[in-house]
């Protein structure tokens, strides 16, 4: 776990990876929810007979998912504090399963409820997954385990892009295959069932640090023994007890009240500033606009099926970049990696804006969108979840990720309006300018987190208020 020192000799790396993959199913579900709407908007519109309301309902339904996620991320902290991380995950899985049922019912109202509930579950997972992973993973491999979040997220997106290929492109109601999108939206429920069953059958104990905090020491020992050698468990538990005692004495910031966070009391200003700015930049740098509307962008330069194929290509580039970064995540400092990645994203967006002004060919747009996604996935994409998982507790995560989803809702709703209003070129230029400004912020305000425990990071943040 990130709060307890460990070495290669005292923990079972295979057990850590298994737990990491299990928890990261939550981000696979988020990836499904981010990717399933991109290439099927016309199919859903025809199935649900949106007709003249299509231009309003498409961005509205896109925004309902992140709107639901706002509420989920806000609820995640009090729920996980009171009931535990494990029960909070189980609740999230149940919501995912329920949301998939609503998608089966072919009415606009049911689809809207499904979108909101799937977003609600995504918001819960957004907070729970990084916190739980970094509470359990040893420091030495915490970064790599955290990278599973980004990998599962991109895999969920790519799977949805691939499944959209067989859907009809026009006169959708005339084809039985048009209802294939309902199955696509149900996959999150299947993933929720898998994670739920594993919690019930294999992973029956909560995070050790939460169990120690609740004075459930024997359960904490059993939970720790799933990762650490038996002769090391006592030392791990004692370390956790010391951390919690320091926390209660005010020597670190874990367990603060929400009023302290909102008013930036008790030296929360830098931690919350980094968390909030990181999440806002993550959304307004253009990634969700591209992930949600890439098919629309490509279809303006070619036919619908080719646009879906190119969207899938973009998804593979996104996932491939995450896999490429995976073995390197703990080898290079995170702050310069982040800044170089944002610079690459800015250059790609500026070129996209320039080509949109003068060229109608799809090829340059594909090249620079692919390059943009690669730069995103080797920098801010995974590092957002890794860095914030290392420095934020669950209450801070709840606030920061709630803000993240608020920004996502705004972006996915206004992007079509910007696209039709000021044009795609100006829109890309705006996103590029944001990426350039983000470099300045990250370089000036972010601290280096690689190889440090959460306690060490909190002390450093305290000193740099």
Q: Where are the alpha helices (DSSP H) in 202-303?
A: 208-213, 217-224, 230-248, 258-262, 269-284, 287-299
Alpha-carbon distance 10 to 405, whole Å? 38
What angle do helix axes 108-136 and 180-201 make, rounded to 10 degrees? 40
Q: Which residue has the tokens 């099927």?
A: 40
In sequence order, what are the residues at sequence separation of 6 or more whose Cβ sits closer than 8 angstroms to the Cβ of residue 444? none
Q: What is the pLDDT of residues 352-383, one digit of tens each?
A: 888 888 766 777 888 888 888 888 878 887 78
Residue 238 scores a pLDDT above 90: no
Alpha-carbon distance 315 to 242, whole Å? 45
Residue 173 scores a pLDDT above 70: no
How many residues appear in the chain? 465
Question: Residue 52 has what DSSP assignment?
Answer: G
Alpha-carbon distance 358 to 119, whole Å? 38
Ranked by mean pLDDT, the top range of 118-127, 175-184, 403-412 is: 118-127
Asked which of 149-163, 348-362, 395-409, 444-458 is least confident by mean pLDDT, the reply is 444-458
pLDDT the model gives residue 348: 92
Rounded to 5°, angle at Cα 385 from 384 and 386? 95
Alpha-carbon distance 341 to 320, whole Å? 15
Alpha-carbon distance 276 to 69, whole Å? 16
Residue 138 scores a pLDDT above 90: no
Task: For residue 228, list its beta bridge partners.
Answer: 11
Calculate the average pLDDT of the chain: 82
Quickly count: other Cβ atoms within 10 Å of residue 27's Cβ: 26
Alpha-carbon distance 257 to 262, whole Å? 9
pLDDT band at residue 263 using 50, 70 and 90 as cut-offs: very low
Contact 409, 70 (CB under 8 A): yes
Alpha-carbon distance 293 to 289, whole Å? 6
Nearest to 195 by CA among 80, 72, 99, 93: 93
Q: What is the pLDDT of residues 191-236, one digit of tens each?
A: 999 999 999 998 888 888 888 888 888 888 888 888 887 777 888 8
Q: Which residue has the higher pLDDT, 421 or 332?
A: 421
Q: How many helices (H) and strands (E) does the chain have?
A: 21, 0
Q: Which residue has the higher pLDDT, 5 or 29?
A: 29
Alpha-carbon distance 278 to 335, whole Å? 12
pLDDT band at residue 438 using 50, 70 and 90 as cut-offs: very high
Ranked by mean pLDDT, the top range of 100-109, 265-274, 330-339, 451-460 is: 100-109
Contact 185, 103 (CB under 8 A): yes
Which domains are assigned to the chain? 13-204+250-463 (1.20.1250.20)
pLDDT the model gives residue 111: 94
Residue 262, burial from CB neighbour count under 10 angstroms (0-12, 13-18, 19+):
exposed
pLDDT the model gives residue 4: 44
Asked which of 41-50, 195-204, 394-403 is least confident by mean pLDDT, the reply is 394-403
Query: 266's torsion region: left (phi>0), alpha (psi -120 to 50) or beta?
Result: left
C-alpha Rg value of the chain to the nearest Å = 22
Cα–Cα distances in angstroms (integers) from residue 370 to residues 4, 96, 152, 313, 328, in the given order: 39, 30, 19, 8, 21
pLDDT the model gives residue 462: 65
């Amino acid at each position: 776990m990130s709060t307890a020192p460990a070495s290669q000799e005292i923990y079972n790396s295979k057990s850590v990876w298994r737990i990491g993959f299990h928890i990261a199913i939550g981000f696979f579900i988020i990836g499904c929810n981010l990717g399933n709407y991109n290439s099927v908007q016309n199919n859903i519109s025809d199935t649900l007979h949106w007709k003249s309301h299509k231009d309003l309902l498409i961005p509205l339904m896109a925004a309902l998912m992140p709107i639901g996620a706002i509420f989920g991320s806000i609820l995640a902290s009090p729920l996980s504090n009171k009931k535990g991380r494990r029960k909070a995950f189980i609740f999230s899985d149940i919501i995912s399963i329920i949301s998939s049922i609503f998608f089966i019912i072919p009415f606009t109202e049911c689809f809207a409820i499904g979108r909101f509930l799937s977003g609600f579950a995504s918001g819960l997972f957004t907070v729970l997954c990084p916190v739980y992973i970094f509470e359990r993973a040893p420091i030495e491999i915490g970064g790599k385990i955290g990278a599973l979040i980004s990998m599962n997220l991109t895999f969920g997106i790519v799977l949805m892009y691939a499944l959209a290929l067989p859907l009809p492109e026009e006169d959708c109601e005339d084809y039985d295959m048009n209802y294939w999108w309902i199955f696509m939206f149900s996959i999150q429920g299947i993933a929720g069932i898998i994670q739920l069953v594993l919690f019930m059958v294999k992973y029956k104990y909560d995070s050790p640090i939460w169990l120690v905090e609740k004075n459930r020491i024997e359960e904490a020992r059993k939970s720790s023994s799933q990762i650490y050698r038996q002769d090391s468990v006592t030392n791990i538990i004692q370390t956790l007890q010391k951390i919690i005692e320091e926390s209660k004495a005010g020597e670190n910031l874990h367990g603060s009240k929400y009023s302290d966070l909102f008013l930036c009391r008790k030296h929360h200003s830098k931690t919350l500033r980094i968390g909030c700015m990181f999440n806002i930049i993550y959304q307004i740098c253009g990634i969700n606009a591209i992930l949600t509307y890439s098919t629309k962008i490509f279809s303006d330069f070619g036919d619908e099926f080719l646009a879906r194929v190119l969207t899938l290509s973009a998804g593979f580039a996104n996932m491939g970049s995450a896999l490429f970064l995976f073995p390197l995540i703990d080898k290079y400092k995170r702050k310069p990696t982040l800044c170089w990645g944002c610079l690459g994203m800015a250059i790609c967006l500026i070129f996209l804006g320039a080509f949109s002004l003068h060229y109608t060919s799809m090829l340059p747009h594909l090249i620079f969108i692919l390059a943009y996604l690669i730069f995103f996935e080797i920098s801010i994409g995974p590092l957002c979840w890794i860095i914030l998982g290392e420095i934020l507790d669950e209450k801070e995560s709840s606030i920061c990720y709630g803000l993240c989803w608020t920004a996502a809702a705004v972006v996915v709703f206004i992007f079509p309006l910007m696209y039709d209003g000021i044009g795609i070129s100006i829109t890309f230029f705006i996103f590029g300018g944001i990426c350039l400004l983000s470099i300045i912020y990250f370089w000036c305000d972010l601290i280096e987190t690689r190889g440090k425990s959460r306690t060490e990071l909190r002390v450093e943040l305290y000193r740099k208020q």
